[in-house]
């Protein structure tokens, strides 16, 4: 039985538990996790508060060495951690290995930032006075993450937060509890002091109640959340009561514009990976391909052909995608499939819905009846009047819409109100920069898919996709530090800014 870790010690199991299963073999239990209560989250925040002062005083380059140790441990345990990711959330092995590598890449970047938490010396307007700026940790950071990227996304928050001198309370997804436990053990063995990283396994309602209490008690200084737009808006409202700005990384309805001059085979490769990789369960998954009318029919034909040929099935094998993560996500995807209407044309597989003996898919790898496997779906002729066009779908489904002018394509791309990731396939630089300037997305790709992040670029969205906060690279430092300015007057007298300033009189009436 997995239990929460508070102050370096595992707490006793409580009366409520959650069974995390292998989504490709739902009869197999991966982990049994004891669910904590709201009070446990408050206790974890209190433990983090008690540990944070000492951790803040550890010099930043030394904190960077701890981050480096985490990275080395992750690399040494890469195959083992990836195997847990594959088994618990159904991510194909190649993608799982890539996800684990992302932790190592994040650690490699932030190792150096331990020596680059720079402030500045600033010239004063008065003599014998020095001005300085400093980055200080915010304090206690509470992080709540989803399980579609059960180890990479937590590292985006936890690594820089720790590097900056904060203590962290992390609430992972219950359905990825084994991944979270393995992740924690790697950090714990890197030399973190007790209480600097705490893990609380809890469900959504208890987490929200605990966070509300911890904020009321002044125990939390920053909240990071990755998950749905609906929950993110509630967390944003809660933090706003305390004049805090959370770091919100929410859903996406990510558009891919395919221009008339696009390399269609390349665009199809991008659509296949970003639409169906991880079974479409990424915040950056392709939502709608917006295709110029002159190439629309050919694009759909090629995408249908590639999708039908793609391997689907057991994630331990070489497949494009495996199962949906859990019954909860399968139920949600069933609702999405109900949005397909009589005006739509469906492509991509031999059926829609669950892959079963009665609704088989050619070339399926493994036993479809054992897990949460679904047919990939391409839905042509979607538009702004459709729920399928306007909402995040979080499953193996791609919508296709047509456009005539670039203005129309951009309007369609922005219409759902999300703003995470967008891409355009074209050979025309003018189209690229017009698209970049007017698209609402925080991330733009050119001749590349909507999915894919690197550890040293800002990651995040706008609108329904987030509140403008950014993760990764040097930009995330602004989430986990506060700027402090200091002035030091050595003149021996009171010098008043804007008043006791030397004035040099110019002759402004001079003319040649």
Q: What are the tens digits of pLDDT across the range 193-217?
A: 999 999 999 999 999 999 999 999 9
Instruction: Read off the tokens for 12.
Output: 């006793």
Q: Based on the residue annotation, tell me whether 88 is a catalytic residue of this protein.
A: no
Query: Angle at CA 310, nearest 5°, toward 100 and 347?
Result: 125
Q: Give the distance from CA 436 to its chain's centroid.
A: 21
Distance CA 225, CA 504 (A): 53
Only one residue has tokens 């919100």, namely 248
- Count CB atoms within 10 A of the CB of residue 153: 25
Q: Which of 237, 249, 327, 369 is catalytic?
A: 249
Alpha-carbon torsion, ordered 62, 63, 66, 71, to 10 deg? -120
- Count CB atoms within 10 A of the CB of residue 235: 22
Instruction: Read off the tokens for 390.
Output: 């306007």
Instruction: Read off the tokens for 158.
Output: 């936890």
Question: Do 317 and 412 meet the contact criterion of CB atoms below 8 Å apart?
Answer: no
Helix pair angle (406-414, 429-438), 10° resolution: 30
Q: What share of the chain is helix, strand, coil (3-state, %, to 5)?
A: 40, 20, 40
Q: What is the pLDDT of residues 89-138, one digit of tens each?
A: 999 999 999 999 999 999 999 999 999 999 999 999 999 999 999 999 99
3 state SS of 61: helix
Domains of the chain from N-terminus onward: 29-222+230-248 (3.40.605.10), 254-446 (3.40.309.10)
The pLDDT profile of the chain, 512 residues, written as one tens digit per residue, is: 999 999 999 999 999 999 999 999 999 999 999 999 999 999 999 999 999 999 999 999 999 999 999 999 999 999 999 999 999 999 999 999 999 999 999 999 999 999 999 999 999 999 999 999 999 999 999 999 999 999 999 999 999 999 999 999 999 999 999 999 999 999 999 999 999 999 999 999 999 999 999 999 999 999 999 999 999 999 999 999 999 999 999 999 999 999 999 999 999 999 999 999 999 999 999 999 999 999 999 999 999 999 999 999 999 999 999 999 999 999 999 999 999 999 999 999 999 999 999 999 999 999 999 999 999 999 999 999 999 999 999 999 999 999 999 999 999 999 999 999 999 999 999 999 999 999 999 999 999 999 987 889 999 999 999 999 999 999 999 999 999 999 999 999 999 989 999 999 999 999 99
- Count CB atoms within 10 A of the CB of residue 241: 10
| CA diameter of the chain | 93
Contacts of 135 (CB under 8 A, 6+ apart): 117, 118, 119, 164, 477, 481, 482, 483, 484
């Amino acid at each position: 039985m997995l239990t929460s870790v508070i102050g370096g010690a595992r707490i006793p199991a409580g009366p409520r538990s959650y069974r995390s299963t292998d989504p490709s073999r739902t009869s197999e239990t991966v982990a049994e996790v004891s669910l904590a209560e709201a009070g446990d989250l408050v206790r974890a925040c209190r433990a983090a508060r008690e540990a944070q002062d000492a951790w803040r005083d550890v010099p930043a380059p030394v904190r960077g060495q701890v981050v480096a140790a985490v990275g080395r441990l992750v690399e040494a345990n890469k195959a083992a951690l990836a195997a847990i990711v594959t088994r618990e959330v159904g991510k194909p092995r190649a993608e799982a290995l890539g996800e684990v590598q992302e932790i190592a890449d994040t650690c490699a970047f932030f190792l150096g930032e331990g020596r680059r938490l720079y402030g500045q010396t600033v010239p004063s307007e008065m003599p014998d006075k020095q001005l300085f700026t400093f980055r200080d940790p915010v304090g206690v950071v509470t992080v709540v993450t989803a399980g579609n990227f059960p180890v990479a996304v937590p590292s985006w928050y936890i690594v820089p937060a720790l590097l900056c001198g904060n203590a962290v309370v992390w609430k992972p997804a219950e359905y990825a509890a084994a991944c979270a436990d393995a992740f924690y053990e790697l950090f714990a063995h890197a030399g973190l002091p007790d209480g600097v990283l705490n893990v609380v396994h809890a469900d959504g309602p208890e987490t929200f109640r605990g966070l509300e209490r911890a904020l009321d008690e002044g125990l939390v200084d920053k909240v990071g959340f990755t998950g749905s737009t609906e929950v993110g808006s509630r967390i944003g409202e809660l933090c706003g009561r305390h004049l805090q700005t959370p770091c919100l990384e929410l859903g996406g309805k990510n558009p891919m514009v395919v221009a008339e001059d696009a390399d269609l085979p390349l665009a199809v490769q991008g659509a296949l990976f970003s639409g169906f990789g991880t079974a479409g369960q990424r915040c950056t998954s392709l939502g709608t391909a917006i295709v110029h009318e002159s190439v629309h029919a050919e694009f759909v034909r090629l995408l249908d052909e590639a999708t039908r040929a793609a391997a689907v099935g057991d994630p331990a094998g070489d497949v494009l995608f495996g199962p949906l993560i859990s019954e909860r996500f399968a139920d949600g995807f069933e609702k999405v499939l109900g949005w397909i209407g009589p005006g739509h044309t469906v492509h991509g597989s031999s059926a829609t819905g669950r892959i079963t003996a009665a609704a088989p898919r050619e070339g399926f790898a493994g036993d479809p009846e054992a897990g949460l496997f679904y047919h990939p779906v391409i839905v042509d002729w979607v538009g702004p009047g459709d729920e399928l066009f306007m909402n995040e779908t979080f499953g193996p489904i791609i919508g296709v819409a047509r456009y005539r002018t670039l203005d129309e394509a951009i309007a369609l791309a922005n219409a759902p109100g999300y703003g995470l990731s967008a891409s355009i396939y074209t050979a025309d630089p003018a189209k690229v920069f017009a698209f970049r300037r007017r698209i609402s997305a925080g991330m733009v790709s050119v001749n590349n898919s909507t999915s894919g992040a690197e550890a040293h670029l800002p990651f995040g969205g706008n609108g329904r996709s987030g509140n403008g906060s950014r993760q990764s690279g040097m930009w995330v430092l602004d989430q986990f530090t506060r700027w402090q300015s200091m002035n030091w007057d050595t003149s021996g007298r009171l010098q008043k800014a804007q008043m006791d300033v030397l004035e040099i009189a110019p002759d402004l009436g001079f003319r040649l």
